[in-house]
């Protein structure tokens, strides 16, 4: 059985604040965020909803 990996250096941002940085996604899928990974700038990013 695998053990859970401990997560560190994360913080919580409410959906209300996140929505200020969202844009309409194509095909009517609602408001989306584009995540940025500062440690891996070449990574391909996908739009995500504020709930994820």
Please give the pLDDT value at position 4. Answer: 63
Cβ neighbours of residue 15 closer than 8 Å, sequence gap 6 or more: 50, 51
In 3D space, the residue among 34, 38, 39 whose CA is nearest the CA of residue 50 turns out to be 34
pLDDT tens per residue, range 2-33: 566 666 777 777 878 888 888 887 777 788 88
**What per-residue confidence (pLDDT) applies to 7?**
66
């Amino acid at each position: 059985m695998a053990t859970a990996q401990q997560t560190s250096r994360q913080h919580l941002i409410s959906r209300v604040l996140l929505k200020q940085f969202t844009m309409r996604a194509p095909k009517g899928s609602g408001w989306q965020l584009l995540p940025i990974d500062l440690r891996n700038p070449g990574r391909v990013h996908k739009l995500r909803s504020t709930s994820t």
